[in-house]
Amino acid sequence: MAKHDSNEESIEVTCPECGAIVRVPIEEAEREMRARCPNGHDVELAKML
Ligand SMILES: [Zn+2]
């Protein structure tokens, strides 16, 4: 059984506060319209979709 990072559709965004890469599943992105950066920042996703 092979593993693929792209198995689940996700998007990558860069946190505007600290520049960290944040990966969030598209389903969650569409529902929440934001992602949580590893450093605790909220990243708005509205403009990415
Ligand atoms: Zn951040």
pLDDT tens-place string over residues 3-48 = 555 567 999 999 999 999 999 999 999 999 999 999 999 999 875 5
pTM for the model stands at: 0.68
Ligand 1 centroid, distance to 1 Cα (angstroms): 34
Amino acid in the structure at residue 19: G
Distance (Å, whole) CA 2 – CA 37: 28
Ligand 1 centroid, distance to 12 Cα (angstroms): 13
Ligand 1 centroid, distance to 23 Cα (angstroms): 12
pLDDT of 19 reads 97
pLDDT of 10 reads 93
pLDDT of 3 reads 53
Total count of domains within the chain: 1
Ligand 1 centroid, distance to 45 Cα (angstroms): 13
Residue 41 lies in domain: 5-48
pLDDT of 6 reads 53
